[in-house]
């Protein structure tokens, strides 16, 4: 198998990368109708499998799970996930031949093996779906000609796919039909119904391509979504300990701080998150973010270049072949950090204090969201997709850190995202050494400018406010948030 993206002509590469149409709410007027009464079988019952299945069942669809035999026999966690939620569970042989739609929600690493095993059992004219296009785009999986191949990719961890649905909202979702596999022309209607079943249509759906989803998803998860939140957590915590801040306080500020400050981001973009700071703190955060952007821009660009060229997927697949050595070493090293090992203290931290005492964290978020957005759009990814993949998803990842720190984030995200997160983190921390040497507790751990008054230079403040509001991520975001009328506060 060869990298599908690399087999395309430059013209086709650009066309598929640029495929992105924001779908109007009226296009979902038929809800789940195209899948109503159809037999839907999900392969795997992990982070996405369980939560998508719960949403789709609640939306009136017929969902069963198929698991590999050993998982059923040994009653592994995936079996318990399905059974405890009263789903029908069966072997591939029992369920795949009955399915109109087979949804592959196993880890990307297993896709070639899983798809090669289930494909011969699928009935003629059935549909195969993915929630991430790695197998099709990076591995070049060839699917039987009579089968329709679609993608419904929630831009969110599985846990939040469920939580947002229960709140009456959803998570932004990219849908696509593989151009090589749409023999009956039914792929788009089915993908729309599937996205409606998960609640994605309430947050925003983009009609996209497998290629655009893969290249943007890998970039988002490696940089702002997971990589930079990990780097920012570890460096900020270590700095506070070095400067004598109480360890329990420092642990709590970081663990819950990302969730709190990015709630402001989700509601009103970077502008609102920054507006939550005092004027002097806003100017400080702006300057810090500019400095961080200058330092990290080459690293963001390297990640994007390696994703586009296929170098990233090639090296990750080498790690798969090497028994996941890098992934497992990096996972152990993360578990060993002082931040992970220090429990959050009992001290109360008010919502506003997370902003006032976390100016550095605000700067990390601003720099990471803007850099991810800029790097993606410079590379041909459309603004709406880059917005979902950077700004909107950051709070959804931050929710997982609030639960059980980096362990929980890395457990809930895909293995692919976890690998990319560590890859970025290990390159980013050394890059930030000189910058972190300049950091003191005024920007992390203590109230910025406490007792110094609120005075600022008018000209500087006007320039900062203008730059914030005019960044392209803010302009696209303001438009996309207009349709997010069902969004509910969580902090």
Ligand X SMILES: CC[C@](O)(C(C)=O)C(=O)O
Q: Which residues contact ligand X (rule: CB under 6 A)? A: 155-157, 217, 221, 225-226, 397, 413-414, 416-417
**What tokens appear for 251 in the block?**
């642990």
Establish if 161 lies at the interface with Mg ion (CB under 5 A). no
**Residue 129 is labelled as binding a ligand:** no
Establish if 139 lies at the interface with ligand NDP (CB under 6 A). no
Compose the 210-239 pattern: x for residues touching Mg ion by CB under 5 A, - for all others: -------x---x------------------
CB 70, min distance to ligand NDP, A: 7
Establish if 356 lies at the interface with Mg ion (CB under 5 A). no
**Among 16, 129, 131, 377, which residue sits at the site for ligand NDP (rule: CB under 6 A)?**
131
**What tokens appear for 14 in the block?**
């650009």
Residues 398-457 that bind Mg ion (CB under 5 A): 414, 417
CB 210, min distance to ligand X, A: 14
Selection from Mg ion, ligand NDP, ligand X, none that 44 binds (CB < 5 to 8 A by kind) is ligand NDP
Selection from Mg ion, ligand NDP, ligand X, none that 48 binds (CB < 5 to 8 A by kind) is ligand NDP
**Distance between CA atoms of residues 51 and 404, nearest Å:** 19
Establish if 158 lies at the interface with ligand NDP (CB under 6 A). yes
Size of the site for ligand NDP (CB under 6 A): 29
**Residue 167 is labelled as binding a ligand:** no
Establish if 199 lies at the interface with ligand NDP (CB under 6 A). no
CB 398, min distance to ligand X, A: 11
**Among 41, 152, 157, 214, which residue sits at the site for ligand NDP (rule: CB under 6 A)?**
157
Establish if 385 lies at the interface with ligand NDP (CB under 6 A). no
**Among 45, 171, 219, 468, which residue sits at the site for ligand NDP (rule: CB under 6 A)?**
45
**Distance between CA atoms of residues 357 and 446, nearest Å:** 5
Establish if 68 lies at the interface with ligand NDP (CB under 6 A). yes
What contacts 24+ positions apart, CB below 8 Å, involve 461-469?
Answer: 461/279, 461/282, 461/283, 464/282, 464/283, 464/286, 467/286, 468/270, 468/271, 468/274, 468/286, 469/271
**Among 36, 57, 76, 426, which residue sits at the site for ligand NDP (rule: CB under 6 A)?**
76
Residue 157: closest CA among 419, 381, 408: 408
Whether 210 contacts 408, CB under 8 Å: no
State the distance between the two ends of the chain, measured CA to CA, in whole angstroms.
47
**What tokens appear for 207 in the block?**
């009609």
Catalytic annotation present for 392: no
**Residue 378 is labelled as binding a ligand:** no
Residue appearing with tokens 């586009």: 308
**Distance between CA atoms of residues 286 and 365, nearest Å:** 11
**Residue 414 is labelled as binding a ligand:** yes
CB 167, min distance to ligand NDP, A: 17
**What tokens appear for 276 in the block?**
């939550």
Q: Rounded to the nearest 10 degrees, how much is the dihedral formed by the CA atoms of 429, 433, 435, 440?
A: 100
Establish if 47 lies at the interface with ligand NDP (CB under 6 A). yes
Residues 403-422 that bind ligand NDP (CB under 6 A): 412-414, 416
The angle subtended at Cα 99 by Cα 115 and Cα 34, nearest 5°, is 110
**Among 88, 110, 112, 142, which residue sits at the site for ligand NDP (rule: CB under 6 A)?**
110
- Altogether, the residues listed in the chain come to a count of 491
**Among 16, 44, 128, 257, which residue sits at the site for ligand NDP (rule: CB under 6 A)?**
44
CB 469, min distance to ligand X, A: 27
The catalytically annotated residue of 132, 178, 303, 392 is 132
**Distance between CA atoms of residues 213 and 34, nearest Å:** 23
Selection from ligand NDP, ligand X, Mg ion, none that 289 binds (CB < 5 to 8 A by kind) is none
Q: How far is CA 391 from CA 23, 210, 473, in A?
A: 19, 21, 8
Establish if 357 lies at the interface with ligand NDP (CB under 6 A). no
Give the residue with the Cβ less far from ligand X, 156 or 278: 156
Establish if 331 lies at the interface with ligand NDP (CB under 6 A). no
CB 112, min distance to ligand NDP, A: 10
Selection from ligand X, Mg ion, ligand NDP, none that 225 binds (CB < 5 to 8 A by kind) is ligand X
Give the binding site for ligand NDP (CB under 6 A).
44-49, 67-68, 71, 76-78, 105-108, 110, 113-114, 131-132, 153-154, 157-158, 412-414, 416
> What are the residues binding Mg ion (CB under 5 A)?
217, 221, 414, 417
* Residues identified as active-site: 132
Annotated binding-site positions:
45-48, 68, 76, 78, 108-110, 158, 217, 221, 278, 389, 393, 414
State the binding site for substrate.
278, 414
């Amino acid at each position: 198998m060869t990298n599908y993206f690399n087999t395309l002509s430059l013209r086709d590469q650009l066309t598929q990368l640029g495929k992105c149409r924001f779908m109007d709410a009226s296009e979902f007027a038929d809800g789940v109708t195209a899948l109503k009464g159809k037999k839907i079988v999900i392969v795997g019952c992990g982070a996405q499998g369980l939560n998508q299945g719960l949403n789709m069942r609640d939306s009136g669809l017929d969902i069963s799970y198929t698991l590999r035999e050993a998982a059923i026999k040994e009653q592994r966690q995936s079996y318990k996930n399905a059974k405890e939620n009263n789903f029908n569970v069966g072997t591939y042989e029992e369920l795949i031949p009955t399915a109109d739609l087979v949804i592959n929600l196993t880890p990307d690493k297993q896709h070639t093996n899983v798809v090669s095993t289930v494909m011969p059992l699928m009935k003629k004219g059935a549909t195969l779906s993915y929630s991430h296009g790695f197998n099709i785009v990076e591995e070049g999986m060839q699917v039987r000609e009579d089968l329709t191949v679609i993608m419904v990719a929630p831009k969110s961890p599985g846990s939040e796919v469920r939580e947002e649905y229960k709140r009456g909202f959803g998570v932004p979702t990219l849908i696509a039909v593989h151009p090589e596999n749409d023999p009956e022309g039914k792929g788009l209607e089915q993908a729309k119904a599937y996205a409606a079943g998960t609640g994605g249509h309430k947050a925003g759906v983009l009609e996209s391509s497998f290629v655009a989803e893969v290249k943007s998803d890998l970039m988002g998860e490696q940089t702002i979504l997971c990589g930079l939140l990990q780097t920012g957590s570890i460096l900020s915590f270590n700095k506070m300990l070095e400067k004598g801040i109480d360890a329990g306080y420092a642990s709590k500020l970081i663990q819950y701080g990302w969730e709190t400050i990015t709630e402001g981001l989700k509601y009103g973009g970077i502008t609102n998150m920054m507006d939550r700071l005092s004027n002097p703190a806003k100017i400080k955060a702006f300057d810090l973010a500019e400095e961080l952007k200058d330092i990290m821009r080459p690293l963001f660009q390297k990640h994007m270049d390696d994703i586009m060229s296929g170098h990233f997927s090639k090296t990750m697949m080498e790690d798969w072949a090497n028994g996941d050595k890098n992934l497992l070493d990096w996972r152990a090293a993360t578990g060993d950090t002082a931040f992970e090992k220090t429990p959050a203290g009992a001290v109360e931290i008010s919502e506003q204090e997370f902003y006032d005492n976390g100016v550095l964290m605000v700067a990390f978020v601003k720099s990471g969201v803007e850099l991810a957005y800029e790097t993606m759009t410079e590379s041909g990814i459309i603004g709406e997709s880059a917005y979902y993949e950077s700004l909107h998803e950051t709070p959804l990842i931050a929710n997982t850190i609030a639960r059980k720190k980096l362990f929980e984030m890395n457990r809930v995200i895909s293995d692919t995202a976890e690998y990319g997160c560590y890859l970025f983190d290990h390159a980013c921390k050394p890059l930030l050494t000189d910058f972190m040497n300049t950091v003191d507790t005024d920007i992390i751990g203590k109230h910025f400018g406490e007792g110094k008054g609120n005075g600022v230079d008018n000209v500087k403040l006007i320039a900062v406010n203008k730059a914030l509001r005019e960044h392209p991520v803010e302009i696209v975001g303001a438009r996309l948030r207009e349709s997010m009328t069902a969004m509910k506060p969580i902090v």
